Amino acid sequence: MNLSNMLLMRNELVLILVILILIIADIFVADKNKKAVNYIAVGLFAVHTLIGFIPLKEGALFGGMFVTNSLVWGFKNILNVGVLLIILLAVSWLNKNSLRNRKIGEFYILIFSSLLGMFYLISSRNFLMLYLSLELSTLPVTALAAYDIFNRKSSEAGIKLILSAALSSGIFLFGMSLLYATGGSLYFDALTGNIGHSYLSIAGLVMFFAGLAFKISLVPFHFWTADVYEGAPTPVSNYLSVISKSSAVFILMITLFVTLNELKDIWIPMLYGISILTMFIGNFFALRQQNLKRFLAFSSVAQAGFIMMGMLAADHLAASSVIYFLAIYIFSNIGAFGVVQAVSLASGKENISDYNGLYRTNPKISLILMISLFSLAGIPPIAGFFGKFFLYTAAAGKGYYLLVFIAVVNVTISLYYYLLVVRAAFLRRSENPIPYFKSDIFTKIGLIIVVIALFFLGLYSPFYDYIDSVTHILNI
Amino acid sequence: MDILTLFVVVPVLTVFALMISKGIKQHRVVALIGFSIQTLMSFNLIYQYLQERAAGNNAVMVFTKDIMWFAPMNIHYAIGVDGISVLMILLTSVIVLTGIFISWKVDDLPKEFFISLIVLASGVFGFFISVDLFTLFVFYEIAVIPMFLLIGIWGTGPREYAAMKLTLMLMGASALLLVGILGVYFNSGADGGALSFNIFEISKVHIPVSAQKLFFPFLFVGFAVIGALFPFHTWSPDGHASAPTAVSMLHAGVLMKLGGYGIFRVAMFVMPEGAKYWANFFLVLVIIGILYGALAAIKQKDLKYINAYSSVSHLGLVLFALLMMNDIAWKGAMLQSLSHGFITALSFALIGVIYGRTHTRIITKMRGLLNVIPIAGALYVIAGLANLGLPGFSGFVAEMNIFVGAFQHADTFHRVITILAVSSIVVTAVYILRVVGMILMGPTTPEFKNLPKIAWYEKTGTFILVLFIVLIGIFPFWWGGIISDSVIPFIQNLH
């Protein structure tokens, strides 16, 4: 290994540098100037995001444990942009509370550390590496979920998240060791084609899958989702619902499509059932929610069901459409959470009925909310429609018309509850609506980027073409 | 920029102009200018189209353009028009234009009202120019979703319920449509070619008969829900009754036509075998809808409900004619779409005029309105007579063609169905004459003695619509000629 090889980890190295600078800055900035840490962190991360777009060589490190290719590089950039948006939206929340002020540095350090874990996660080509990076990505988030220590719900969210994460890691490790027992290696390459059909390997697959299903919050491993999303600070819920979920989907896809391809006849029916369950349960529970964060939690559970539907086609089209959908989903959900956070910060209100008459007092933010929700529901010409359409196409291409039919029925159900929010904000009037409020410049920039992305990513087809070209690397 | 894409671009530009305009006066002027341009463009399109045909261009679609959009899936932005689409485009621009006149006095959130209306219209225009199933589907959904806001914000009565019901039923229908479209797409390589979303490429492929039988109902029902097929018509009366006037006009006049048009252009065209297999089954549903709509209209007391059920019945005739599958009936179906578009828009506009003055739509509460608002009353009589198919108006020409086409089938099943359909005309006469008699004739109800006169913007809007109704009635061969040339390639594909 030499310096030029090390540059394959450029994303990770720059991020570590950012974290180190932040730690030092956090020490040297006086308590009363803590707000400055915000600007340092956002600035540094913006630079990091820009550096990320510089093309990267392809190659492997640590004997093949860590790889970089254009697919991974592209996905890391998507994650970077997502995290940048999340921290842009978090600034005003961090500034608001003097108690939080003192821990501003901590917030950024933890969130970047978790992102570092995600980077290693999607680059890993070895189960041990996969496990370590999964832990690195999860532990900081559990601390973040409990960030508002004096808020009982936040502490509860932290405990819930760490307990379920520990449980899922345990199951995951056990599945991993079973796969090791059957295949004799922890490297993806060495395992590919050497697993064979046996009860042992199937049990390994199921447990490995269950471990990741916790992160993606697939039914029946979704129980922690609503409570944690509701209790955790909104930026953290936002992070969990997009960055954490999409990285887990990404690595699940790589392992299923490539390494565990032999067990296709097992995991395809498994995904089929889980996809249907996840869509229905996510949607039916979302119908009844009043709290918007719980509402978005169940909506994100349902979205995971759609992703699984696309994934079980297990071909090139499936890979491209899943990644395309993830990229769009990240923006849509960040938009929705961003608005919820801005409103809750200004008024302390988080229930759907509180949004009655929002359009008449705050038209711009209501529009952004509508666009984000329509993107989640899949209404053209907003990007979410294209993402969903390609997922259906992937599933229908393999003849799963029944599943596509079930999915479109679910889209109609989901449209109902997304429209409930739109109805509150646009159709209803209220005696005491949420008064007009101004958001800070960071929130504005973040939400504007989201809106532009939501129109651009769908209508501008070269973005999909690019994803389609990089997924050829998977060789499926 | 080609002549067709402009039909989507101009509304989008109008929307941007509306966003930066300030005050209700500017809003409505901007909307009016935008749609005057659009209407002029539609006249120009018809002129250009006739020129093109006169010059000997015999292609099925003219002014075609094809841009690759999503290459990995062979999705194109593919557009083109034939005689039917250019007339539908004319219908849409005229109805939106008159709708803007009728909504001159919208005071609650006027900017948002016009924006939603025009976004909806841009979806409709896009639908009529698309020849690629993906593009078509995108535009279809763009046309449906603004209805939620239009009914929900500016509607009357149980508007939230109606808006939600309408949106969910139409989006549910589009879900069926999506399954059907994907089914067609993945069978479009049956002859060994590449998969395609282009309807003309697909029509050349022999899609396996089993697949046609499976997917035809998805496409048919998906389109027919918006064309008010029984038993999926229930969104229509509630939606129309709650919608503001211009939206009812646009919805009954244009949006419901997407159903018949889609079945004609897509479902029956790409899956002829499926169409033949399912035709009789759907005919039974359609005939129930025709009679049910007409009979339900007799029992209603609310003017808008009467007109809504009347639309269910009359649009049933469009589906009926399409399922008869011969050129005369199809010509009638397209003429009926056009004619009913103008007539129903006129009726809804006048109901809006009446409601704006009396603040009630219940027919038992109004008497002798002809004495106080003579112009509106007379126009309402014209709309009613045109609706029941009086010669000289457009309805007669259309229904004549439909029934002549339908009688060409000599078997008992079709005969019975046709006779039942013809009998609906009698029922139509009953409910229309009843309404006219109740609200317009007789001594005037005391509290309505001093109603304000019909305003200039209402007059302009309604006169334009009457003009078109009469034009179709007096020159049926001109309109029919444009349509029948364009029907032929489609009917040939079927046999």
As a whole number of angstroms, the distance between CA A16 and CA A36 comes to 20
* Residue A99: band (very low, low, confident or very high) from pLDDT cuts 50, 70, 90: low
State residue B370's pLDDT score.
Answer: 79
Do A286 and A416 meet the contact criterion of CB atoms below 8 Å apart?
Answer: no
* Residue B181: band (very low, low, confident or very high) from pLDDT cuts 50, 70, 90: very high
* Shortest Cα distance, chain A CAs vs residue B462, angstroms: 29
B 119-178 → A contacts, CB under 8 A: 134, 137-138, 141-142, 145, 148-149, 152-153, 159-160, 163-164, 167-168, 171-172, 175-176, 178
Do B134 and B207 meet the contact criterion of CB atoms below 8 Å apart?
Answer: no
- Whether the per-residue pLDDT at A261 is higher than 60: the answer is yes
As a whole number of angstroms, the distance between CA A54 and CA B479 comes to 61
State residue B324's pLDDT score.
Answer: 87
As a whole number of angstroms, the distance between CA A303 and CA A326 comes to 10
Burial (CB count within 10 angstroms: exposed 0-12, middle 13-18, buried 19+), residue A213? buried
Q: What's the sign of the alpha-carbon dihedral A428, A434, A435, A440?
A: negative
CB contact under 8 A, A401 and B182: yes
How confident is the model over A84-112, as a mean pLDDT? Answer: 83
Question: Is the N-terminal amide bond of B146 cis, ω within 30° of 0?
Answer: no
| Interface check B179 vs A, CB under 8 A | yes
CB contact under 8 A, A380 and B152: no
* Shortest Cα distance, chain B CAs vs residue A426, angstroms: 7
Beta bridge partners of B65: B79
How confident is the model over B94-100, as a mean pLDDT? Answer: 90
- Whether the per-residue pLDDT at A1 is higher than 70: the answer is no
Query: Which of B69, B133, B145, B168 is the best mutation test for A, with the most CBs of A within 10 A?
Result: B145
Domain spans of chain A, in order of start:
3-143+244-474
CB contact under 8 A, B178 and A419: no
State residue A406's pLDDT score.
Answer: 93
State residue B234's pLDDT score.
Answer: 87
Which residue of chain A has the CA closest to B138? A380
Name residue, tokens 């090390």: A6
Angle at B144 between CA B141 and CA B147, to 5 degrees: 150
Beta bridge partners of B4: none
CB contact under 8 A, B186 and A396: yes
How confident is the model over B388-398, as a mean pLDDT? Answer: 81
Which residue of chain B has the CA closest to A427? B153
* Residue A102: band (very low, low, confident or very high) from pLDDT cuts 50, 70, 90: low
As a whole number of angstroms, the distance between CA B222 and CA B236 comes to 15
DSSP one-letter string for A387-446: HHHHHHHHHHHTT-HHHHHHHHHHHHHHHHHHHHHHIIIII---SSPPPP----HHHHHH
Domain spans of chain B, in order of start:
6-494
Q: How many percent of chain A have pLDDT more than 70?
A: 99
CB contact under 8 A, A426 and B153: yes
Q: What is the pLDDT of residues A152-205, one digit of tens each?
A: 888 889 999 999 999 999 999 999 999 999 888 888 888 888 888 888 889 999
As a whole number of angstroms, the distance between CA B103 and CA B249 comes to 11
* Residue B461: band (very low, low, confident or very high) from pLDDT cuts 50, 70, 90: confident
CB contact under 8 A, B186 and A412: no
Burial (CB count within 10 angstroms: exposed 0-12, middle 13-18, buried 19+), residue B39? buried
C-alpha dist (Å) from residue B120 to A414, A423, B9: 22, 18, 13
Q: Which of B82, B493, B491 lies closest to B326 in space, CA to CA? A: B491
As a whole number of angstroms, the distance between CA B249 and CA B349 comes to 7
CB contact under 8 A, B186 and A397: yes
Q: Two tokens at A249? A: 């989907």
The terminus-to-terminus CA distance of chain A in angstroms comes to: 30
As a whole number of angstroms, the distance between CA A79 and CA A137 comes to 13
DSSP one-letter string for A50-81: HHHTS----EEEGGGTEEE-HHHHHHHHHHHH
Q: What is the pLDDT of residues B395-406, one digit of tens each?
A: 888 888 888 888
* Shortest Cα distance, chain B CAs vs residue A77, angstroms: 22
Chain B CB contacts of A415 under 8 Å are 167-168, 171
- Whether the per-residue pLDDT at B451 is higher than 90: the answer is no
CB contact under 8 A, B73 and A380: no
How confident is the model over A255-266, as a mean pLDDT? Answer: 87
- Whether the per-residue pLDDT at A48 is higher than 70: the answer is yes
State residue A63's pLDDT score.
Answer: 83
DSSP one-letter string for B434-481: HHIIIIISSSPPGGGTTPPPPPHHHHHHHHHHHHHHHHHHH-HHHHHH
State residue B354's pLDDT score.
Answer: 86
Q: Two tokens at A122? A: 């999607």
As a whole number of angstroms, the distance between CA B426 and CA B331 comes to 23
- Whether the per-residue pLDDT at A325 is higher than 90: the answer is yes
Query: Which of B12, B67, B73 is the best mutation test for A, with the most CBs of A within 10 A?
Result: B73
Chain A CB contacts of B176 under 8 Å are 408
How confident is the model over B141-170, as a mean pLDDT? Answer: 89
- Whether the per-residue pLDDT at A289 is higher than 70: the answer is yes
CB contact under 8 A, A415 and B168: yes
Q: Which of B174, B173, B20, B14 lies closest to B96 in space, CA to CA? A: B14
- All residues at 6 or more sequence positions from B207 whose CB lies less than 8 Å from its CB, including other chains: B184, B187, B188, B190, B270, B271, B273
* Shortest Cα distance, chain A CAs vs residue B88, angstroms: 23
- Whether the per-residue pLDDT at A280 is higher than 90: the answer is yes
State residue B473's pLDDT score.
Answer: 82
| Interface check A389 vs B, CB under 8 A | yes
* Residue A474: band (very low, low, confident or very high) from pLDDT cuts 50, 70, 90: confident
Name residue, tokens 């099943």: B413
- All residues at 6 or more sequence positions from A219 whose CB lies less than 8 Å from its CB, including other chains: A274, A277, A278, A281, A282, A301, A305
Q: Which of B342, B338, B317, B333 lies closest to B423 in space, CA to CA? A: B317
Q: How many percent of chain A have pLDDT more than 90?
A: 50
**Residue A66's Cα: distance from chain center in Å?**
21
**Residue A301's Cα: distance from chain center in Å?**
11
Nearest to A320 among B72, B142, B145 (CB): B72
- What does the mean pLDDT of chain A come to? 89
Nearest to A416 among B142, B168, B186 (CB): B168
State residue A85's pLDDT score.
Answer: 94
Name residue, tokens 């651009």: A456
- What are the CB-based long-range contacts (under 8 Å, 24+) for A190-193? A191/A259, A192/A258, A192/A259, A192/A261, A192/A262, A193/A261, A193/A262
Dihedral of the CA atoms B23, B26, B31, B37 (nearest 10)?
Answer: -170
- Whether the per-residue pLDDT at A101 is higher than 60: the answer is no
Which residue of chain A has the CA closest to B197? A393
State residue B449's pLDDT score.
Answer: 78
State residue B64's pLDDT score.
Answer: 85
| Interface check A411 vs B, CB under 8 A | yes
- All residues at 6 or more sequence positions from A146 whose CB lies less than 8 Å from its CB, including other chains: A154, A155, A157, A158, A159, A232
Q: Two tokens at A362? A: 């705050």
CB contact under 8 A, A408 and B175: yes
Do A379 and B145 meet the contact criterion of CB atoms below 8 Å apart?
Answer: yes
Q: Residue B109 — φ and ψ, nearest 5°?
A: 45, 60
- Whether the per-residue pLDDT at B448 is higher than 80: the answer is no
| Interface check A380 vs B, CB under 8 A | yes
3-state helix, strand, coil in chain B (%, to 5): 75, 5, 20
* Shortest Cα distance, chain B CAs vs residue A422, angstroms: 9
Could you give the angle at which helices B146-154 and B110-129 cross, rounded to 10 degrees?
A: 150
Chain B CB contacts of A423 under 8 Å are 152, 160, 163-164
Chain B CB contacts of A319 under 8 Å are none
Do A396 and A404 meet the contact criterion of CB atoms below 8 Å apart?
Answer: yes
How confident is the model over B209-219, as a mean pLDDT? Answer: 90
Task: Flag the least confident range among A80-84, A99-103, A111-115, A459-463.
Answer: A99-103
Chain B CB contacts of A464 under 8 Å are 70, 72
Q: What's the sign of the alpha-carbon dihedral A284, A285, A287, A293?
A: negative
Nearest to A380 among B72, B142, B182 (CB): B142
Do B461 and B94 meet the contact criterion of CB atoms below 8 Å apart?
Answer: no
How confident is the model over A322-341, as a mean pLDDT? Answer: 93
- All residues at 6 or more sequence positions from B19 whose CB lies less than 8 Å from its CB, including other chains: B111, B115
| Interface check A324 vs B, CB under 8 A | no
CB contact under 8 A, B167 and A415: yes
Question: What number of C-beta contacts closer than 8 Å exist between A and B?
Answer: 82
DSSP one-letter string for B105-169: T--SSHHHHHHHHHHHHHHHHHHHHB-BHHHHHHHHHHHHTHHHHHHHHH--SSHHHHHHHHHHH
Q: What is the pLDDT of residues B295-327, one digit of tens each?
A: 998 888 888 888 889 888 888 989 999 988 888
Q: What is the pLDDT of residues B360-384, one digit of tens each?
A: 888 888 887 778 888 888 888 888 8
C-alpha dist (Å) from residue B134 to A468, B129, B137, B139, B154: 19, 12, 5, 9, 31
Burial (CB count within 10 angstroms: exposed 0-12, middle 13-18, buried 19+), residue B194? exposed
CB atoms within 10 A of CB A441: 11
